[in-house]
Amino acid sequence: MTKLSVNINKIATLRNARGGDQPNLKQMAIDIERFGAEGITVHPRPDQRHITMEDTYALADIVKTEFNIEGYPDQRFLKIIRDIKPHQVTLVPDAPEAITSNTGWDTFENESFLKEVIAQLHEYGSRVSVFCNDDPKMVEGAFAVGADRIELYTGPYAQDYMLDPKKAVASFVMAAHRAKELGLGVNAGHDLDLQNLKYLKGSIPFLAEVSIGHALVCDALYYGMENTIQMYKRQLL
């Protein structure tokens, strides 16, 4: 079974646009789990433009499924992980000013850094997933630095899906199979939606987890959150 982890950054963005506590992020996390999601994902950026430090600590006491905290492993981020000890940490190479994640790690260029960080995160008891492009060599690098899983950056797949689904997914299938051969779990995330998710799942049936935020929250404006979560879960059957 492929788990659905809902990234609630955009819910926090909506709240922050007006101030106050609407929508209530903690209640949304509780409801999203109740509606069937198997995890909650957050990305607490340094500028706190969506998920804040306070949010991250508060959610740690609320999430009952799997809490996945993603981000660049600077000292601020590592302190969060040390304090909270989430089920999963997803390492992304984003610069602080990045609007959203837009590439995976060069796991060879950053080998020493990642190896040290991952060893530290394992001491805290968290599973570690490394954000990777659709390149088997980068997957091998993730294995070499001690990752438990990779998360395939699926932005290029989503961009090319409508043109040629088979071609768009081919390199991701190769990278995923290389990860499986090495004993790494395979997650996926970025720009996945109701149009392209089912094809990705069918092409990589052993996907452990997908993390979806922007598209799912947009769909929830039309369909309602509970119905939307069920629609996404059906794509993963």
Catalytic annotation, residues: 43, 70, 190
Residues 6+ apart with CB under 8 A from 91: 70, 71, 72, 73, 105, 114, 117, 118, 128, 129, 130, 131
C-alpha span between 187 and 196 (Å, rounded): 15
Please name the helix (run of DSSP H) or strand (run of DSSP E) that holds residue 10, with its range, or none. helix 9-18
* Residue 88, beta-bridge partner list: 68, 127
Instruction: Say which residues have a Cβ less than 8 Å from residue 105's Cβ, sequence separation at least 6.
Output: 91, 92, 93, 114, 130, 131, 132, 138, 141, 142
Give the burial string for 140-156 (b: 16+ CB within 10 Å, else e): bbbbebbbbbbbbbbbb
Tokens of 203: 């092409």
Q: Which long-range contacts (CB under 8 A, 24 or more apart) does 23-26 make?
A: 25/55, 25/58, 25/59, 26/58, 26/59, 26/62
CB 69 within 8 A of CB 30: no
Phi-psi sector, 85: left (phi>0), alpha (psi -120 to 50), beta: left
